Structure 1
Amino acid sequence: MDSARESLVSSSGGLLLARTVRVSGLARALSVALAPWRGRRAVHDPGKVICDLVTAVALGGDCLADLGVVRAQPGLFGAVASDPTVSRLIATLAGDVEVSLAAIRAAHAAARSAAWAARRPLPARAGSGEGGQVTVDIDSTLVTAHSDKEHAGPTYKRGFGFAPMCAFVDHGEHGTGETLSLQLRPGPASPFNVADHIDALDLALAQLPEHERAQVLVRADSGACSKKFLHHVTDAGLEYSIGYSATATVKAAVEAIPAQAWRSALDGDGQAREGAQVAELTAWMPTPTIKPSRPGPQNWPAGMRVIARRERPHPGAQLRLTDADGWRVTCFATNTKGPGWTLPVLEIRHRQRARAEDRIRCLKDTGMANLPFAGYDRNQIWLAIVALAADLLTWTQTLAWPDQPPNQPQVRRWEPKRFRLRLLSVAGAHHRHRPATTPATASRDWPWNPLIDTGWATLNTT
């Protein structure tokens, strides 16, 4: 073969990820955190191995063997460990899973702080009013297991697999979001488990830069609506917007409030939504029954408000116990008060919690849909890698394309599948034995070359 001949790589856009790794200090943080697991004669640094795995998953891999895509392109990613070496490292980390997970999460938090210091993903200043608040969404999901894996079991939706608990930062309308915590749970785990919600919130707060923790909004569905969890949130000085189960007591309150208490709800554009109304039920809610035998707080935290939304059900939808006069009623609890926080604004803010479902879908496109190991602890390590891969994609989008003109593609809002297809998987050319220094594409006619050039230039000035 002619030594002067140029060779092609299939993931030239992956150089954007490599640059983000450098800006965030992720490889360095992982190397320091995982130093205790490096053997005296080890050739490959454990931090570099995990960072390579993170890159492989970010590029679309969903098992250890997919590291071959990174290994086959040393001009982009350097020397990469063999599959047996990687497998042994995962087994070693899983043998001390609590300590190793804590180390990986600490490295993750350090890289996030560096990425946010380079460019905060939310508008305004930390702790300021409009855009300064950090919204943390907590939600559980289900991951199907297609073989008999440790602690896989029947799920509450009659499937078989696992029930991870997730926590995210919502970037709002300006971007996507980030994964703050991703906890593997056995299949039978309940979506209402209070301890799991508390753990998810504590892990999520530890992932935020310290100066960002003063003004946090916690959002979740009714699975998190327990007195103990809401007391935990308020004791931490945080705000919340949590789904509240529409029970018979809610039905009684809805029937008791005067008709003039209802006002028009808003749609996503801030306009009145036809056939939807909101009202506050707090003053009409009955006093909770005290049960001394039940552990934990007996009352809801002080300052809690219960807000209801009613809307005509879609054609064919079945009515529920709490649906009054043909209205479908849903509720949420919040402790937010103050100027500007009208009932319609609070209600639309809570409804935007649905973005957590988008984040979960993105995680399943980034390695979470396939838990590749038979062992439970190894799959916990895998989920830590998935969380890092998802954030590596998001940090790249945030750092490389912070402000796109309205008439240009909004790269920060792209989900992983589109981001990979258009920008990361494009072929590029570089000379053999010479490290790639720019994600030059193989075709001049590639429609997204300007975006790649813009992103690369921005990353190199960050």
Structure 2
Amino acid sequence: MAFVDHGRGGTGEPVAALLRPGNAGGNTAAGHITTARLALAQLPKHYRRGRQTLIRTDSGSGTHEFVAWLAQRGRWLSYSVGMTITDAIHAAVLHVPADAWTPAVEPDGEIRDGAWTAELAGDCLAGWPKGMRLIVRKERPNPGAQLRFTDADGMRLTCFATNTIDIPIAQLELRHGQRARAEDRIRAARATGLRNLPLHEAAQNRIWLEIVSLALDLLAWMPMLALTGKPKLWEPRRLRLRLFSAAAQLVTTARRRHLRFADHLPWTDIITSAIHRLAALPNPG
């Protein structure tokens, strides 16, 4: 599933999804390229190529084929692609000088305690597209967390590739980490009907996927346009319980229709404010 960020503090809207067999691999370059094409096709034409459009993925997309497709001449897309910690990357991390590590930062600009970032060079870049940069983060794991084979010196390692050159390393790492917003949308998609596909035929499930995608569009845009504060962050289950299932009366009087909610409903103010906020929006047509 591919997402596009709203740029207004939202968590991203799902714009493309690809239904694949259950035994499909997680890092199949062909599937990632197809989904990226579908996502780009839904953007305005002037955003379908150029550095102002950023493709951001997790390490499942960190393949030679996908990165080469992103870096293809004439496409000129910006990318921030998670990478698996290979032996070459692991060896390069061990040779990074101590003074080359930069403290990682939080979204508010404060230094993140126990986390550092650095750029890798050397053999770990061999065979990758020209202009690609490898940024690695090392971080103290949470208490009780088990180390992995890919960790080094008791530090948890993560790595991503990018072709952006005009942003400090710490900001690049922060920008890539914000792709975790997509996990919220994936969780919302599962809660909306994609946890288990209900039908037997692939064609029928594609129709189901289209229906759920429409619901996800509503769940993405409605909080951004109609809600404020904490309700803007509510997930599908809470929205269904507090807003979508609220009982009301539709009353017609003096040739006007009024939607009346019970005064004792705790969420009446939120619902009515959302309705007024939506009604005040200009007609997109």
Q: State if a TM-score over 0.5 links the two structures.
A: yes
Shift of residue 437 of structure 1? 4.2
- Give the letter for the 2:37 counterpart: D
C-alpha separation in 2, matches of 1:285 and 1:321: 20
The residue that corresponds to 2:55 in the other structure is 218
The residue that corresponds to 1:116 in the other structure is none
The residue that corresponds to 1:448 in the other structure is 267
C-alpha separation in 2, matches of 1:411 and 1:258: 46
Q: 1:436 to 1:388 in 2, by over 3 A?
A: farther
Do 1:264 and 1:276's aligned partners in 2 also have CA atoms closer than 8 Å? yes
1:293-313, Cα deviation, whole Å (9 max, x unpaired): xxxxxx312110001111122
Higher relative contact order (CA 8 A, sep 6+): 1
Q: Is 1:334 matched up with 2:162?
A: yes
In the alignment, which of 174, 188, 191 is matched to residue 23 of structure 2? 188
**SS across alignment from 2:76:** coil
Do 1:168 and 1:177's aligned partners in 2 also have CA atoms closer than 8 Å? yes
**SS across alignment from 1:174:** coil
In the alignment, which of 136, 157, 171 is matched to residue 345 of structure 1? 171
Do 2:251 and 2:257's aligned partners in 1 also have CA atoms closer than 8 Å? no
Gaps (5+ residues) in structure 2? none
- Mapping 1:62-77, distance limit 5 Å: none
Q: 1:274 to 1:397 in 2, by over 3 A?
A: closer
1:400-426, Cα deviation, whole Å (9 max, x unpaired): 34xx4xxxx343332222222222211
Q: Is 1:256 matched up with 2:82?
A: no
**What is the percentage of aligned positions where both structures have the same residue?**
48
**SS across alignment from 1:326:** coil
- Mapping 1:26-425, distance limit 5 Å: 166-171=1-6, 174-213=9-48, 214=50, 215-235=52-72, 236-281=75-120, 283-286=121-124, 288=126, 299-338=127-166, 341-401=167-227, 404=228, 409-425=229-245
- Give the letter for the 2:55 counterpart: V
Q: 1:308 to 1:170 in 2, by over 3 A?
A: same
Q: Where has structure 1 moved over 4 Å in runs of 4 or more?
A: 435-438
TM-score (norm 2): 0.88
**SS across alignment from 1:440:** strand
- Mapping 1:6-21, distance limit 5 Å: none
More displaced, 301-310 or 228-237?
228-237
C-alpha separation in 2, matches of 1:181 and 1:436: 40
Q: 1:201 to 1:438 in 2, by over 3 A?
A: farther
Do 1:310 and 1:327's aligned partners in 2 also have CA atoms closer than 8 Å? yes
Larger Rg: 1
Gaps (5+ residues) in structure 1? 1-165, 289-298
Q: 1:353 to 1:372 in 2, by over 3 A?
A: same
Shift of residue 453 of structure 1? 1.9
The residue that corresponds to 1:428 in the other structure is 248
C-alpha separation in 1, matches of 2:125 and 2:99: 24
The residue that corresponds to 1:294 in the other structure is none
Higher strand share: 2
- Give the letter for the 1:447 counterpart: P
TM-score (norm 1): 0.56
1:114-159, Cα deviation, whole Å (9 max, x unpaired): xxxxxxxxxxxxxxxxxxxxxxxxxxxxxxxxxxxxxxxxxxxxxx
Do 1:248 and 1:321's aligned partners in 2 also have CA atoms closer than 8 Å? no
